[in-house]
Amino acid sequence: MSLIRIYGLFLRHFYLITRSFPRVLDLIYWPSIQITLWGFISNFFAIHSTYYNNAVGVILSCAILYDFLFRTSIGFNMLFLEEIWSRNFTNLFISPIKIGEIIVSLVITALIRALIGLVPAILLTSPLFGISMLDLGIHLFFLFLSLYTFGITLGILVSAGLLRFGPSFENIAWSTMFLLAPFGCIYYPVEILPQFFQNIAYSLPLVYIFEEARSILIDGVVNYKNIMNAFYLNAIYLLIAISLFYYSFAQARKRGTLINIGE
Amino acid sequence: MKNLVEVKNLKKKYGTKEAVRGISFNIKQNEILGLLGPNGCGKTTTIGMMLGLLKPSNGEIFIDGKKIEENRIETLEKINFISPYIELPKKLTVKQNLIVYCKLYNVSDIKNRIEYLVEKLKLENFLNRITGELSSGQKNRVSLAKALINDPAVLFLDEPTASLDPEIGDYIRGFLENYKKEKKISILLASHNMNEVTRLCKTVLMMKDGIIIDKGFPEELIKKHGRKNLEEVFLKLSRSNNELN
């Protein structure tokens, strides 16, 4: 692995962000809108729901966590799509950058993009709704790390699809998060789902992350089993995603997709 | 001069369709080889395989003695490519693009390399401008700078002067001639501009339907086929039934 090449690809996207104020605004705008909206909904439920009445920040905290996942995943896909849209794809793939270096570089850049959007949104929650994400304590770090890993995993999976099938896979890139959201049990406990859906939900790390967030915020109980389950599943899915990305690259070289995408 | 590029019995199949059907050729150091042929004859597929973007179905490609399939990254460090169909990120300045590609190619002295290319290709007036806002001629020079960023031993050019006005086209051709002489690099030139090919190339390969149907010096081919210029030879071969060799 060459840190210089990783930095080179990071720099390509960093320049893009810093050169364009509308791009930065776009990164901040949607998370802020999302969090403000969920903040008011959260306040409403806190007053009118018995489930949430002791924990004003539960829905909002989960909304922030979900948005972090969403931004990370979409961020990774956007970085990959950016190369296709700018017709720079061929230049990138004929440079001596390794697949692993591309993944590492995009993983770092996606995190920075997500944080640019999310930090201002999180800062908004305190003055507007009197809620602090820090109520989750040190465990907040583990939840964020878990969501980040899963977001990146989804990003790599979708990018693998883009490599293998070309730009026609773009629509899938936008829809993956919406497909998984119902199974993630972001705003409701997993028991609400029918049994079959519960089985699917338990096979994803999301349910453990959001159950854990609710457990800490509502009951004040930390369940390390949830955190560990999320990490185990994340490790498995990440390994599958990276393997699939390498496989897609090999297939794209075989089928000529790299040439078709690039021009 | 040694062979910097060796292509042996190269084939590429997409399903049942054979895009390239067993071609072999070499490019010597300090040589420009022209690759000609009608659209769909397999030129892009051939170049794609030489750039490592495509996996050959059969055959071997050696760059400076190294087999590309087994030494992909090492080989990519020694080659580069320019085509009007690919672009550099439009929102970045010229300088930023060059810095990014210096990093991707692990260029050791970035400042000096960029200064050298800026001077050689006369980029100083628009070095800090957004790449997407440049004229096609300026963009072409920037793409050429990117293609030379790693001081390549082998350069692949796919219609390098397409869509350029005659004056800029002539400048680019002159630049390539001088750069090849100075650096003793090998160049593969795919072009539909027969004057360009006649001026730059020592040897020419004519491709059709995935095979090489003729090859030789441009003057030799003109004489052999009894035509006035390379364009007429191209037309004759393109309309033939692949039985000239």
Here the tokens at position A77 are: 């896909």
| pLDDT value for B156 | 96
Here the tokens at position A86 are: 């700018």
By a Cβ cutoff of 8 Å, what residues of chain A touch chain B? 2, 4-5, 7-9, 11-12, 15-16, 19-20, 82, 86-98, 250, 253-256, 258-259, 262-263
Same domain? For B157 and B144 the reply is no
Q: At residue B245, does pLDDT exceed 60? A: no
Summarised one tens digit per residue, pLDDT across range B145-189 is 999 999 999 999 998 888 778 888 888 889 899 999 999 999 999
| pLDDT value for B244 | 46
Same domain? For B10 and B61 the reply is yes
Summarised one tens digit per residue, pLDDT across range A229-263 is 999 999 999 999 999 999 999 999 998 888 877 55
CA distance A60 to B191: 60
H-run or E-run covering A83: helix A58-85
CA distance B201 to B177: 10
Find the residue in A nearest to B19 (Cα). Answer: A256
Same domain? For B225 and B161 the reply is yes
Same domain? For B206 and B222 the reply is yes
pLDDT category at B58 given cuts 50, 70, 90 is very high
DSSP state of A215: I
Which residues from chain A sit within 8 angstroms of residue B100, using beta carbons?
8-9, 11-12, 15
- Neighbouring CB atoms inside 10 A of A108's CB total 16
Mean pLDDT of B113-119: 94
Which residues from chain A sit within 8 angstroms of residue B157, using beta carbons?
none
Indicate the residue among B151, B167, B185 that finishes a domain: B151
Which residues from chain B sit within 8 angstroms of residue A15, using beta carbons?
91-93, 96, 100
CA distance B140 to B87: 9
Backbone angles phi, psi at B156, to 5 degrees: -105, 125
Among A112-116, A215-219, B104-108, the minimum mean pLDDT is found in A215-219
Smallest CA–CA separation between A38 and chain B, in Å? Answer: 35
- Identify from B18, B103, B133, B136 which residue to disrupt to test chain A contact, counting A C-beta atoms within 10 A and taking the largest count: B103
Q: At residue A214, does pLDDT exceed 70? A: yes
Which residues from chain B sit within 8 angstroms of residue A20, using beta carbons?
91
| pLDDT value for A12 | 92
Q: Which domain holds residue B106?
A: 87-151
Q: At residue B134, does pLDDT exceed 90? A: yes
Here the tokens at position A150 are: 């899963």
Q: Who among B52, B80, B106 is closest to A4 (CB)?
A: B106
Among A90-94, B100-104, B195-199, B209-213, the minimum mean pLDDT is found in B195-199
To which residue do tokens 């990071």 refer? A10
Find the residue in A nearest to B108 (Cα). Answer: A4
Q: Who among A8, A90, A254 is closest to B100 (CB)?
A: A8
pLDDT category at B229 given cuts 50, 70, 90 is confident
Q: What is the CA radius of gyration of chain B?
A: 18
| ipTM of this complex | 0.88
Same domain? For B161 and B241 the reply is yes
| pLDDT value for B242 | 54
User: Does B88 reach chain A within 8 Å, measured CB to CB?
Assistant: yes
CA distance B110 to B224: 49
| pLDDT value for A241 | 95
pLDDT category at B224 given cuts 50, 70, 90 is confident
Find the residue in A nearest to B147 (Cα). Answer: A91
Which residues from chain A sit within 8 angstroms of residue B14, using beta carbons?
255-256
- Identify from A7, A78, A84, A95 which residue to disrupt to test chain B contact, counting B C-beta atoms within 10 A and taking the largest count: A95
Same domain? For B175 and B244 the reply is yes
- Cα A112 to chain centroid distance, Å, stands at 12
Same domain? For B163 and B143 the reply is no
Same domain? For B158 and B144 the reply is no
User: Does B83 reach chain A within 8 Å, measured CB to CB?
Assistant: yes
Same domain? For B58 and B165 the reply is yes
Higher pLDDT, A28 or B48: B48
Summarised one tens digit per residue, pLDDT across range A91-146 is 999 999 999 999 999 999 988 988 888 888 888 877 877 777 776 778 888 888 99
Tell me if residue B8 falls in helix, strand or coil.
Answer: strand
Asked if B51 lies within 8 A of A262 by C-beta distance, the reply is: no
Domain count, chain B: 2
CA distance B173 to A180: 55
Which residues from chain B sit within 8 angstroms of residue A259, using beta carbons?
44-45, 48, 53-54
Helix count and strand count (H, E) for chain B: 9, 10
Exposed/middle/buried for A218, CB within 10 Å: 0-12, 13-18, 19+?
A: middle
Same domain? For B46 and B158 the reply is yes
User: Does B3 reach chain A within 8 Å, measured CB to CB?
Assistant: no
Same domain? For B62 and B129 the reply is no
Indicate the residue among B119, B136, B151 that finishes a domain: B151
User: Does B89 reach chain A within 8 Å, measured CB to CB?
Assistant: yes
Same domain? For B225 and B183 the reply is yes
| pLDDT value for A3 | 93
| pLDDT value for A48 | 74
Indicate the residue among B151, B168, B191 that finishes a domain: B151
| pLDDT value for B207 | 93
Mean model confidence pLDDT for chain B: 91
